[in-house]
Chains A and B, each alone.
Chain A
Amino acid sequence: MELATNFIPLDTLDVTYLLVVGFIGGLVSGFIGSGGAFVLTPAMMSMGVPGIVAVASNICHKFPKALVGAIKRAKYGQVDVKLGIVVGISAEAGVLYGAHIQEIVHQSFGDAGSNLYVSLAFVVVLGVVGSYVLWDAIKMRHTAGNEPEKASCLARWVQSIHIPGTMVYFKSLNARVSVLFTIPLGFATGMLAATIAVGGFIGVPAMHYVLGAPSLMASATELVTAFVMGVGGTIKFSWSGLVDIRLAMIILAGSLFGIQLGAIGTTYVKPHMIKMVMGTIMVLVLFSRALAIPVYLSELELIDMLEPHFSGALLNISFVVLIAALAAGAAIVFASLWRGISTSRREAALATTPATMFAPDVVAMPTSPQLSPLGRFERFLLATDGSEYSAGAVRESLRMAGKCGARVRTISVVAGGDAELYAMGEQLITKELNTARAHLDDVQRQASAAGVACESEATQSGQVYQEIVSQAERMQADLIIMGRRGRHGLARLMVGPSTVRVIGHAHCNVLVVPRAAELVGRRFVVASDGSRFGDAAAVTAARLAKLCHTPITVVSVIRPEHSEERRREAHTIVGRIVSFLKQEGVVVEGIVPHGRPDEVIVQTANAKNSDLIILGSHGRTGLERVLLGGTSERVIDQARCAVLVVKSA
């Protein structure tokens, strides 16, 4: 029997090509709910498959793929079937209308006009939606942390509108929403699917930003919508006998491997990663289509004719960027999956290792009626990496704990966020942890000898600073004590060592002790800029000075360019703190030197042979810290003595 004229013979290379593209497409679809199929139609056409058969076969592979993906993600509790079906039904209408518009454009303007229409749709939709999704993903990454996603203002407004007779409850929204909102969204999704083959580029952002579904659920629910649309599309095309079932099933063979993997990947990532992948793909596809627009404009004679080789080059580059978009998305999914699985396995390995836990629910009786959290020194968290740089922190934390009667919890966090480390094997991790435990045992022996209550734990985390801050929160530490690495200047800001990040994120005070520093209570230097952070530093200094019977020098630095009013203000600040400290019974002196604050504070500490600098922290992190803050960091960098950074309550 002869092959129908619409269908091409397939060789091994064609089959392999389709399997690979199908796998990558499936991977992306499983992760973001759609977006993996847009490259398949041009990929099949590049093999010589007629356009209409390519579209039909693509749709025929999409619906079973979406079904398998939806079932998989439903097992993880991410799918809202009702929302998917409601949006999917209206999307069917959108598909039919979108296809009708396509036909009209094709009849009126030919192939070039149709291509231009599709490319413009890509550029406009992806330009607006894609850039917003990417921007939102980047914003979430920097600000949201582990907080749950919040519904957008638009979604809250949509959920607040009550139109009798049209309200439906959706579990993903945990709210009732009028179908008068879901119908146009589904219709637009269908129209886009009929135009650029990926309705999810509207469907997922619409469910998330307009209706208020969490991004994970929006991407999973889109698979239901894609299934509904896919069944409708397949019936439509196969009614005309246009589906090449071989192509569809070969692509399906690869894509089902991919979609399972992509769905598994969603369980390991934070919500912003879904948006990151989707936004990245959308923006890259936008560039791909934008590159092709001049060619179609030229064919329609709307601009000067392009040289044939130039047109060909533009179209080739456009196709390569399209492939790159999919590859970039797949690479992010792979990386997220790899990182997530590695971390999860390490956590499982750690869970089986014995660990002595600190008992924070038993609060030690205060040694004095000190009720301010700023000056409380009852629970210390000592973070040590066992290196020579931590030696000062270990020594001085035990000395200070002895004076204050504090309990010490010592932790050693083995960094293990990078995939390479895990790739080197669990033996290496175990070895690192054993080394850390041996060091902690040594610290505990020192603590016992000094009569200090001490417990310890070796742990592992991708982000050392997060683990330290999180442990401090859990045990309600009054003070985190750390060592200092010898990194200075720009490298410090760029590399962002754990100490700096701990200061930025911790809610309690942080004491940074250089290797050779000693905290014997010769003299403390308290720096204040008159803000409440400076006041917090003064309160803490008063408490510590009374414990150690140490005199204090109060410093408020003024710059040469400061006005006379600012100079008077600095004197007032110093006078106020000096009065306060005197009332607390501390021996104190005040000075108002000129110069760069960080340099002058360190010089003063050196000149006074001080063994501790105490200053308040504005608690900035990230870019804001680099641009605005950083006095405390520079002091820590330059000081020979210990520096206590006081975090305002």
Chain B
Amino acid sequence: MTDSNTQSAGKMLTRASVYGTVSLALYFLLYFFEDFILEFTSRGGWYFIAPVVIAFVFSYFHGAFTSHFWDTLGIKAKK
């Protein structure tokens, strides 16, 4: 019982770390290429797709990270 708990806690921590790293990398890219990304996403017209895609990508990785983050801290939904 304790072993399986430890294993699942380990998995959770690994997942949180992976998603957290990707999320951090995305925000770093946003910061590093700030001017280009801002110019590209504000061109208007069919470029509207750019902010929408960026929002989806960020929400996927950062959303998964935040979910695992609270799980890792032991803050989970009531079963």
Q: Which residues of A contact B (CB under 8 A)?
A: 1-4, 6-7, 60-61, 63-65, 67-68, 71-72, 75-76, 231, 234-235, 238-246, 248-249, 252-253, 256-257, 259-261, 263-264, 267-268, 337, 340-341, 344
Interface string of B20-32 (1 = CB under 8 A from A): 0000000100100
CA distance A286 to B8 in the complex (A): 47
Closest CB of chain B to A139's CB: distance in Å?
A: 25
CA distance A1 to B50 in the complex (A): 18
The 7 closest A-B pairs by CB, nearest first: A64-B59, A241-B44, A68-B63, A238-B48, A241-B42, A267-B77, A267-B78
Interface residues of B in 10-43 (CB under 8 A from A): 27, 30, 34-39, 41-43
Q: Is the CB of B62 within 8 A of A252?
A: yes
Q: Is the CB of B67 within 8 A of A248?
A: no
Q: Which of A239, A249, A263 has the most CB of B within 10 A?
A: A249
Q: Is the CB of B51 within 8 A of A256?
A: no
Interface residues of B in 48-75 (CB under 8 A from A): 48, 50-52, 54-56, 58-59, 62-63, 66-67, 69-70, 75
Q: Which residues of A contact B66 (CB under 8 A)?
A: 68, 256-257, 259-260
Q: Is the CB of A249 within 8 A of B38?
A: no
CA distance A51 to B70 in the complex (A): 34
Q: Is the CB of A238 within 8 A of B51?
A: yes
Q: Which residues of B contact A (CB under 8 A)?
A: 27, 30, 34-39, 41-45, 47-48, 50-52, 54-56, 58-59, 62-63, 66-67, 69-70, 75-78
CA distance A340 to B79 in the complex (A): 12
Question: Contacts A239-B45, A260-B66 given; 20 further ones with Cβ under 8 A?
Answer: A2-B35, A60-B51, A67-B56, A67-B63, A68-B63, A68-B66, A71-B63, A72-B67, A244-B38, A245-B30, A245-B41, A246-B34, A248-B55, A249-B30, A252-B58, A256-B59, A256-B66, A260-B67, A267-B78, A268-B78
Q: Which residues of B contact A245 (CB under 8 A)?
A: 30, 37-38, 41-42, 50-51, 54-55
A256-B44 contact in complex given A64-B58, A248-B55, A249-B58, C-beta closer than 8 Å: no
Q: Is the CB of B36 within 8 A of A1?
A: yes
Q: Which residues of B contact A238 (CB under 8 A)?
A: 41-42, 44, 47-48, 50-52
Q: Which of B30, B39, B47, B78 has the most CB of A within 10 A?
A: B78
Checking B45, B55, B70 against A64 with a beta-carbon cut-off of 8 angstroms, the contacting residue is B55
Closest CB of chain A to B59's CB: distance in Å?
A: 3
Q: Which residues of B contact A267 (CB under 8 A)?
A: 77-78
CA distance A224 to B34 in the complex (A): 30
CA distance A243 to B54 in the complex (A): 12
Q: Is the CB of B37 within 8 A of A68?
A: no
CA distance A2 to B34 in the complex (A): 11
Q: Is the CB of B58 within 8 A of A243?
A: no
Q: Which residues of A contact B34 (CB under 8 A)?
A: 246
CA distance A238 to B40 in the complex (A): 11
Q: Is the CB of A252 within 8 A of B78?
A: no
Q: Which residues of A contact B78 (CB under 8 A)?
A: 267-268, 340, 344
A246-B30 contact in complex given A239-B44, A252-B62, C-beta closer than 8 Å: yes
Q: Which residues of A contact B52 (CB under 8 A)?
A: 231, 234-235, 238
CA distance A268 to B75 in the complex (A): 11
Q: Which residue of A lies closest to B70 (CB)?
A: A260
Q: Which residue of B lies closest to A235 (CB)?
A: B48
CA distance A234 to B36 in the complex (A): 20
Q: Is the CB of B51 within 8 A of A248?
A: yes
Q: Which residues of A contact B35 (CB under 8 A)?
A: 1-3
Q: Is the CB of A241 within 8 A of B43?
A: yes
Q: Is the CB of A243 within 8 A of B42?
A: yes
Q: Is the CB of A264 within 8 A of B38?
A: no
Q: Which residue of B lies closest to A71 (CB)?
A: B63
CA distance A253 to B58 in the complex (A): 9
A249-B45 contact in complex given A68-B63, A264-B77, C-beta closer than 8 Å: no
CA distance A431 to B2 in the complex (A): 24
Q: Which of A238, A261, A267 has the most CB of B within 10 A?
A: A238
Q: Is the CB of B55 within 8 A of A242?
A: no
Q: Is the CB of A249 within 8 A of B70?
A: no
**Can you list 5 A-B contacts (CB < 8 A)?**
A4-B38, A60-B55, A67-B59, A248-B51, A249-B58
Checking A67, A75, A239, A244 against B48 with a beta-carbon cut-off of 8 angstroms, the contacting residue is A239
Q: Which of A67, A234, A245 has the most CB of B within 10 A?
A: A245
Q: Is the CB of A249 within 8 A of B54?
A: yes
Q: Is the CB of B69 within 8 A of A246?
A: no
Q: Which residue of B lies closest to A2 (CB)?
A: B35
Q: Which of B44, B59, B70 has the most CB of A within 10 A?
A: B59
CA distance A239 to B41 in the complex (A): 10
Checking B42, B63, B76 against A7 with a beta-carbon cut-off of 8 angstroms, the contacting residue is B42
CA distance A198 to B27 in the complex (A): 27
CA distance A212 to B41 in the complex (A): 42
Q: Is the CB of B43 within 8 A of A234?
A: no
CA distance A67 to B39 in the complex (A): 26
Q: Which residues of B contact A244 (CB under 8 A)?
A: 38, 42
Closest CB of chain B to A256's CB: distance in Å?
A: 4
Q: Is the CB of A253 within 8 A of B51?
A: no
CA distance A174 to B72 in the complex (A): 36
Q: Is the CB of B69 within 8 A of A234?
A: no
CA distance A64 to B64 in the complex (A): 12
Closest CB of chain B to A133's CB: distance in Å?
A: 24
Q: Is the CB of B48 within 8 A of A264?
A: no
Q: Which residues of A contact B58 (CB under 8 A)?
A: 64, 249, 252
Q: Which residues of A contact B51 (CB under 8 A)?
A: 60, 234, 238, 243, 245, 248
Q: Which residues of B contact A1 (CB under 8 A)?
A: 35-36, 39
Q: Which residues of B contact A231 (CB under 8 A)?
A: 52
Q: Is the CB of A252 within 8 A of B59?
A: yes
Closest CB of chain A to B29's CB: distance in Å?
A: 11
Q: Which residues of B contact A234 (CB under 8 A)?
A: 48, 51-52, 55
CA distance A249 to B58 in the complex (A): 8
CA distance A67 to B62 in the complex (A): 12
Q: Which residues of B contact A2 (CB under 8 A)?
A: 35
Q: Which residues of A contact B75 (CB under 8 A)?
A: 261, 264, 337, 341
Q: Which residues of A contact B63 (CB under 8 A)?
A: 64, 67-68, 71, 256, 260
A242-B42 contact in complex given A248-B55, A256-B63, A261-B75, C-beta closer than 8 Å: yes
Q: Which residues of B contact A246 (CB under 8 A)?
A: 30, 34, 37-38
Q: Which residues of B contact A344 (CB under 8 A)?
A: 78
CA distance A344 to B77 in the complex (A): 10
Closest CB of chain B to A273's CB: distance in Å?
A: 13
CA distance A187 to B37 in the complex (A): 34
Q: Which residue of A lies closest to B43 (CB)?
A: A241
